[in-house]
Amino acid sequence: MESDPARLPVDAEGKPLVPRPQPGYYPKFSTLSQQAFWDAATRTVVLQRVTAPPPVRFFTAPEAEIIQRVIEHVLPQDDRVPERQIPILPFIDERLFAGRTPGYRFEDMPPDGEAYRLFLRAVDLMALEAHGAQFLRLPWHEADVLLQSVHDGKPSGAQDIWKKLPVKHFWTIMMGDCVEAYYAHPWAWDEIGFGGPAYPRAYFRLEGGAPEPWESHERHYAWDLPPGCVSGEHEAEAAHTDTPTHGETGSH
């Protein structure tokens, strides 16, 4: 997906940051450069995440298009060049196709695959009710606002569907899937400076926060949310309402 300049993080002067192959504070670090120190099974699994993401088999083509757009909103990768954006949808689809669960299920939730399909119907219906257009046809900001209402547990429409699908529980599951798929990928490890699998070499600098010899020191740079970012507006409002009044103390 090509990055929209309006959705790019900005620097200290408010100028959009140029998309890069490797965002984050470890610009020259490569976890894959250490693959010779991994056992063969681990190396195969990790390399497949880069070279052979699974095919989409659970979602239909229209469903996949909607969930991909949702993923682009909730875990944006506009700061990455298109060829280095981490595939998330294929790994969510693989879990649902195989019927794997995260090891638990909320008692008021339908099975995960059914839950995802209800969610996709809901966001399309919400878009039609509010804007007279399907979700994929909404401008970016309007789609952001719609998804923000789901995040907040107060979906702005499709109430009959949400009676069958507890909104906060579903959001927890979906975001867990997105984050798991993203941070299981070695390009995300590069972004956060993670040194990769510990077996069989192991880690030995376990105290003091010092990097291992094969890791890299942080190189910070200034950045902020894109102007007009809905989540940024929401966080600012929450911070304002959480500010203690005179005579009160705040706890976090």
pLDDT in tens, 135-151: 999 999 999 999 999 99
Give the pLDDT score at 233.
Answer: 59
CA-based end-to-end distance of the chain: 37
- Tell whether 243 is covered by a domain: no
More confident of the two residues 103 and 206: 103
- Comparing 1-15, 41-55, 109-123, 187-201, the range with the smallest average pLDDT is 1-15
**What are the pLDDT digits (tens) for 17-73?**
999 999 999 988 999 999 999 999 999 999 999 999 999 999 999 999 999 999 999
Tokens of 3: 């990055």
| Residue in 240, 251, 239, 221 with CA at minimum distance from that of residue 10 | 221
Lowest-confidence segment of 59-68, 128-137, 238-247 by average pLDDT: 238-247
Please give the pLDDT value at position 236.
45
- Taking the C-alpha atoms of residue 123 and residue 67, their distance in angstroms, rounded to an integer, is 10
Tell me how far apart the alpha carbons of residues 89 and 71 are, in angstroms, rounded to a whole number.
8
Let me know if residue 133 belongs to a domain: yes
Boundaries of domain holding 138 = 5-238
Q: Look at residue 76 and tell me if it is in a domain.
A: yes
pTM of the predicted protein model: 0.88
- Is 210 domain-assigned? yes
Mean pLDDT for the stretch of residues 90-94: 98
Q: pLDDT tens digits for 1-22?
A: 666 888 999 999 999 999 999 9
pLDDT of 244 > 60? The answer is no
251 lies in some domain: no
* 249 domain-assigned: no
Per-residue CA distances from 100 to 103, 153, 174, 177, 237 (Å) = 8, 26, 14, 12, 38
Question: How many domains are there within the chain?
Answer: 1
Residue 246 lies in a domain: no
Question: Alpha-carbon distance 162 to 41, whole Å?
Answer: 42
**Mean pLDDT within 73-79:** 95
